[in-house]
């Protein structure tokens, strides 16, 4: 049984966390899908639009999905000088243009939280973090660099790369963009093609809605038996992730149902189908039969003929919701889907290579430090990925910018210490962090990372990133990262 003082500390941190959250939400106004309604309306009012071209005759179509125009100005670098004056190590080299922290500056010398440099230094030197570790801490609102150690060095990020993937997708497409899955029919309605659009969240319920509309349209034409095909030509290149068959990700197809999971799970590792698109087509055929439309044999993979017309369509949730789900649950399938949506928006092939080029280019447009970065995938499962701690804190600062409301789901999607997602069971030895630390985790064998936000003793929103490689064991490394992020909190955070 826990000692009374421990219970008091834990309860105090929870109460403080929930109280802080309530105050922030109350001040911010009403929220929808993780964004303030006012911010969403501001973004919609801008000139650039996201989403696909719309056909006026298309069935069951939501309104177009505008997103915000790029309004972020060039950023300055005086925060780096101030941080170095406080004795922190810049580490690495500049990207040659923008500040290597990837954040801006107000021109004021930032006041370091009391003892920050002295506190983080020894914690970062923990042997549990292995021989190679980097760190970056910035004021997320002003962009001032408060602490850095090797922060420009490109490291293997593991799943923290999902922050970059999500930022690229949201900035390229807008938070209201939806991914369509369609059914196309030949003029006589006798041959149908189920066309994948890249929705990694499509499930049996979504296919059921599509089957409802398809069956209704066929009844209007007097058609009761069809030949069914499925089209996955939107994506190109290898379907299998370079790590090979793995419970953490399905083959990357533009058509899938339930992420190809072979059990009843909705997140986390699970046995996966080797042919998720074929499985989805077979589920759709079954749903059509349940609605009185017979299919002629098993569905076959085939491109939709040019003479087909749109018969029915279903949409994913808005990109804002997909982004939050990808970050909270560290969902690899959604992350790879969002990377390919970014590639399509940029006119790149929807492949691992095309998505990597598109994500990097999109971040460069945001004036972030991309020198040395490698986006070998969108999920972070690849050990060839490389990002810097400065890039991660720069991404989080962009997401906090009032000029970038379309990026707000990056912050609202971060797991909450001891409450949600991949941080639900973390920070057991750091009760002050409960409800107060929000961060994306990253874990591969020998690689551990953490990047997120906290509010410090001065009421500032801080963005932090800690990357470590060649770590001896995952649990001690994660505990060390937890201690680093907890050290950024006010000293009284855990007291009742």
**pLDDT per residue as tens digits for the range 275-295:** 999 999 999 999 999 999 999
* Predicted local distance difference test score (pLDDT) of residue 114: 54
* Predicted local distance difference test score (pLDDT) of residue 473: 97
C-alpha to C-alpha distances, 481 to 91, 315, 444, 488, nearest whole angstrom: 19, 39, 14, 12
Torsion sign (Cα): 323, 327, 333, 338: positive
| Residue from 159, 320, 351, 469 carrying the catalytic annotation | 159
* Phi, psi at 31, each rounded to 5°: -120, 145
Cα(171)–Cα(442) distance, rounded to whole angstroms? 23
* Predicted local distance difference test score (pLDDT) of residue 493: 52
Cα(153)–Cα(93) distance, rounded to whole angstroms? 7
Residues in contact with 270: Cβ distance below 8 Å, sequence separation at least 6, in sequence order:
247, 259, 261, 262, 263
Known catalytic residue at 159: yes
* Predicted local distance difference test score (pLDDT) of residue 458: 85
C-alpha to C-alpha distances, 482 to 20, 209, 452, nearest whole angstrom: 20, 43, 11
Q: DSSP string covering 323-339, please?
A: HHHHHHTT-HHHHHHHH
For residue 190 the two structure tokens come to 């006798």
| Residue from 95, 162, 316, 337 carrying the catalytic annotation | 162
- Residues of the chain with pLDDT below 70 are 1-115, 492-496
Known catalytic residue at 330: yes
* Predicted local distance difference test score (pLDDT) of residue 229: 98
Q: How many helices (H) and strands (E) does the chain have?
A: 13, 17
Cα(155)–Cα(389) distance, rounded to whole angstroms? 8
Instruction: Give the predicted TM-score (pTM) of the model.
Output: 0.80
C-alpha to C-alpha distances, 402 to 175, 327, 396, nearest whole angstrom: 15, 21, 12
Place of tokens 């997320």: 140
| Residue from 100, 330, 382, 485 carrying the catalytic annotation | 330
State the burial class of residue 123 (Cβ atoms within 10 Å of its Cβ: 0-12, 13-18, 19+): middle
Cα(273)–Cα(362) distance, rounded to whole angstroms? 32
Cα(320)–Cα(406) distance, rounded to whole angstroms? 8
């Amino acid at each position: 049984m826990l000692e009374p003082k421990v219970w008091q500390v834990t309860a105090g941190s929870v109460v403080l966390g929930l109280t802080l959250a309530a105050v922030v939400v109350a001040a911010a106004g009403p929220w929808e899908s993780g964004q303030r309604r006012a911010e969403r309306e501001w973004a919609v009012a801008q000139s650039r639009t996201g989403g696909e071209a719309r056909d006026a005759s298309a069935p069951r179509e939501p309104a177009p999905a505008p997103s915000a125009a790029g309004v972020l100005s060039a950023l300055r670098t005086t925060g780096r000088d101030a941080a170095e004056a406080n004795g922190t190590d810049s580490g690495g080299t500049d990207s040659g243009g923008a500040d290597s922290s990837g954040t801006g500056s107000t021109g004021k010398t930032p006041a370091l939280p009391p003892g920050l440099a002295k506190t983080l230094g020894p914690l970062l030197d923990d042997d549990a973090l292995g021989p190679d570790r980097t760190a970056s801490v910035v004021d997320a609102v002003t962009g001032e660099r408060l602490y850095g150690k090797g922060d420009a060095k490109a490291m293997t990020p593991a799943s923290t790369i999902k922050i970059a993937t999500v930022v690229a997708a949201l900035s390229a497409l807008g938070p209201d963009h939806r991914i369509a899955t369609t059914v196309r029919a030949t003029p006589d309605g006798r041959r149908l093609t189920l066309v994948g659009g890249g929705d990694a969240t499509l499930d049996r319920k979504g296919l059921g809605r599509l089957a409802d509309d398809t069956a209704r349209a066929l009844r209007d034409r007097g058609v009761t038996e069809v030949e069914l095909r499925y089209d996955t030509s939107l994506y190109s290149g290898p379907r299998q992730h370079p790590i090979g068959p793995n419970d953490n990700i399905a083959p990357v197809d533009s058509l899938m149902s339930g992420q190809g999971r072979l059990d009843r799970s909705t997140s986390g590792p699970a046995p996966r189908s080797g042919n998720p698109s074929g499985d989805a087509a077979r589920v759709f055929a079954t749903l059509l039969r349940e609605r009185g439309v017979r299919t002629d044999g098993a569905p076959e993979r085939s491109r939709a003929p040019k003479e087909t017309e749109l018969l029915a369509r279903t949409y994913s949730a808005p990109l804002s919701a997909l982004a939050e789900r990808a970050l909270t649950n560290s969902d690899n399938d959604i992350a790879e889907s969002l990377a390919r949506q970014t590639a399509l928006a940029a006119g790149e092939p929807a492949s691992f290579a095309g998505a990597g080029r598109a994500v990097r280019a999109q971040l460069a447009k945001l004036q972030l430090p991309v020198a040395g970065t490698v986006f070998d995938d969108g999920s972070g499962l690849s050990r060839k990925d490389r990002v810097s701690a400065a890039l991660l804190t720069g991404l989080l600062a962009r997401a906090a910018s009032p000029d970038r409301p379309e990026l707000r789901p990056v912050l609202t999607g971060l797991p909450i210490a001891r409450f949600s997602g991949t941080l639900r069971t973390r920070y057991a030895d750091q009760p002050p962090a409960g409800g107060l630390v929000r961060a994306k985790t990253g874990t591969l064998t020998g690689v551990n990372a953490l990047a997120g936000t906290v509010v410090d003793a001065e009421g500032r929103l801080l963005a932090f990133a800690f990357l470590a490689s060649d770590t001896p064991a995952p649990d001690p490394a994660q505990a060390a990262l937890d201690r680093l992020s907890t050290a950024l909190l006010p000293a009284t955070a855990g007291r009742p």
